[in-house]
Amino acid sequence: MLSSLFAAVIARFRGLGRRRIVSFSRDARRRGAPPRLEALEDRCVLSNTTTIPDFADMPPIVAYPDVLMALQSKGNPSVVFVGDSISYGYSYGEGAPVWAAFMAPLGMADYGIPGQTTQSLLFQLSLGQLAGMHPLVVVLNIGGNNLREGDPPQAVAAGVLADVATIHQSLPQAQVLVLGVLPGEESPTDPYRLAGAQTDALVSQMLVGDPHASFVSIGSVFLQPDGTISDTMMYDFLHPTTLGYLNMTAALLPVIQQAIVSGTPATPSVPSTIHIPGTPHLPNPSAPPPAQQIPLMPS
């Protein structure tokens, strides 16, 4: 009796949120097949016949952090970040001092997982990552790992939209800011960079007509005038340095603040300097002078 009950609980856990979520099998990913979506009122929504990826189908390095992150105490943040190592590094990596100075005082929470893909994020969300919270804004940064694994831009864009639809199901009133795939690799003609641009173009088109989601492009803050990336901005030409996160914050924070105040994101703008308390003002090489320093709290 006890064993059968335990088996039922496990089955229930693995089936959590199984309806209305996209199925991503390993075979489908190898074929580059996009998740199934349906058109409804000029927008893409999840089919009610699809399922989430199974725990056993994901690499442990991603699956176990997904579970641990979803089970931790959540509180009631005003802004939530979900995504891959770019998001994770914001509060737990190179961006930690920037996060502590600018994001934490605004009541933000970071649920990014290194190695996260559009598929594995669906699993994290299905575990109840957003359950019981009422954030005003969700910042989604996902898709880069899919491109690095060889998924075509069309499949990656469809996966991003599946994640957006799942977030809408959990938080129907929250504004979802979908970040473009950050530029990667040193050269502007690198295939990864080109695939990211194609993915961004598709995602921005697919979000048209969604009143609770907006595409936000901030990748230019990492680029030099000739389009290359310096290791002072991305230490491995993929992940931001502390200075890279400073530039990212300078562009992103006003967009988040505008979304909180009005429910509509503003166009990213970049101040000429931004300041972490206890450190000197650092010049922002991507910004045209003059500009105003980022406020710590919404105006």
Catalytic residues: 85, 236, 239
Taking the mean position of all CA atoms in its chain, how far away is CA 55?
Answer: 21
Q: What are phi and psi of 274, to 5 degrees?
A: -140, 155
Residue 2 CB burial class (10 angstroms; 0-12, 13-18, ≥19): exposed
Structure-token pair, residue 281: 């003002």
Residue with tokens 């089936």: 15
What is the helix (H) or strand (E) element at residue 242, kind and residue range? helix 242-262
DSSP annotation of 100 reads I
Q: With contact defined as beta carbons under 8 Å apart, do 233 and 222 qualify?
A: yes
Q: What are phi and psi of 291, to 5 degrees?
A: -155, 170
